[in-house]
Amino acid sequence: MLPFARVSIIGLGLIGSSIARAVRQYMPTVRLSGHDASAQVRETARRIDLLDDVADHAGAAVIDADLVILCVPVGAMGAVAAEIAADLPADAIVSDVGSCKTSVAQALGGVLPPGRVVPAHPVAGTEQSGPEAGFATLFQRRWCIVTPLADSDEAAVVRVEEFWRRIGADVERMAPDHHDLVLAVTSHLPHLIAYTIVGTADDLEQVTQSEVIKFSAGGFRDFTRIAASDPVMWRDVFLSNKEAVLEMLQRFSEDLSQLQRAIRWGDGDALYDRFAKTRAIRRSIVDQGQDDAAADFGRRHD
């Protein structure tokens, strides 16, 4: 039996539209409704026939849903929850896909019925955004981390987990604060580094004319892909996961200072040891059948 029959998606960008396409592909009898704050996005969603019903107001999109998934930037979750609260059917479950979980738990838990909120985070995405960037197979063999609240109803959690499995994800449960610490180092910090290094290179461009772009080889190109990620989404991630990111950034800065020191003092052994260790880490990840390219972030198996 399908875990849900009527799914509503609020926010029809990369992730919202990917969920819609995946539901159409893997659970074709589910009725899909949704809404986006942008009139242009709603128009595109109608043109590409993303959903059965694209509503002009968030409330109208959830009125007969049994699952509502909020797919908006994390800073907008609270406002959307407040917008739908009055129209939400009493037995509907509300989930989300936000990249940070502690702040979203607070934003949703305060506004929506206790027990019915089951936050989640599909660890799958790209640097693209918008309704036309989504694709049905985005979640295949990717992790979806489910982070129930203290009062989330267990049956509701199980149904949300089943929903993600149906669209191809591998599911794991985690406490929201633990999720935020893990993702700070595996996802948020790498994005911050990419944003920084591409900015630094761009500043250098004034001096070196076109050399930075002309000679940008593999490593730098990978950074530019990540640094092309949506500015609103990532602004919200860093403001929402402030404590964990600052903690990881502090540790990163200390490690970077050690390498800086090794270079300054010509300590080749220290550099070699570090690089040999990280090479071994990468090889063990590949041996475990995990990810092979920057674009495959979060993938469990090749």
Ligand X SMILES: O=C(O)C(=O)Cc1ccc(O)cc1
Binding stretches for ligand NAI (CB under 6 A): 10-16, 36-38, 41, 71-74, 76, 79-80, 97-99, 122, 125-126, 129-130, 230, 233, 237
User: In the numeric block, which tokens belong to residue 114?
Assistant: 């206790």
Rounded to whole angstroms, the Cα distance separating 271 from 273 reads 6
Q: Is position 241 an interface residue for ligand X (rule: CB under 6 A)? A: no
Beta strands in the chain (DSSP E): 6-10, 31-35, 53-54, 67-70, 93-96, 120-122, 143-146, 170-173
Minimum CB distance to ligand NAI smaller for 14 or for 212: 14
For residue 221 the two structure tokens come to 């190109």
Q: Which is nearer to ligand NAI, 97 or 118 (CB)?
A: 97
Report, in Å, the least distance between residue 169 CB and ligand NAI: 11
Q: How far is the CB of 280 from ligand NAI (least distance, A)?
A: 29
Cβ at position 73, least distance to ligand NAI in Å: 5
Residue 38 or 216 having the CB closest to ligand NAI: 38
Residue partners of 277: CB distance under 8 A and separation at least 6? none
As a residue count, the chain comes to: 302
Contact (Cβ atoms closer than 8 angstroms) between residue 92 and residue 125: no
Q: Could you give the string, one character per residue 107-126, with x where binding to ligand X holds by CB under 6 A and - elsewhere?
A: ----------------xxxx
The span from the CA of 163 to the CA of 171, in Å, is 10
What is 191-239 written as a DSSP string?
HHHHHHHHHHHHHHHHHHTTHHHHT--HHHHHHHHHHTS-HHHHHHHHH
Residues 87-106 interacting with ligand X (rule: CB under 6 A): 99
Phi, psi (degrees; rounded to nearest 5) at 211:
-65, -35
C-beta of 120 vs 156, nearer to ligand X: 120
Closer residue to ligand NAI (CB): 119 or 212: 119
Binding mask 199-238 for ligand X (x = CB under 6 A): ---------------------------x------------
Interface with ligand X (CB under 6 A): 99, 123-127, 187, 226, 297-298
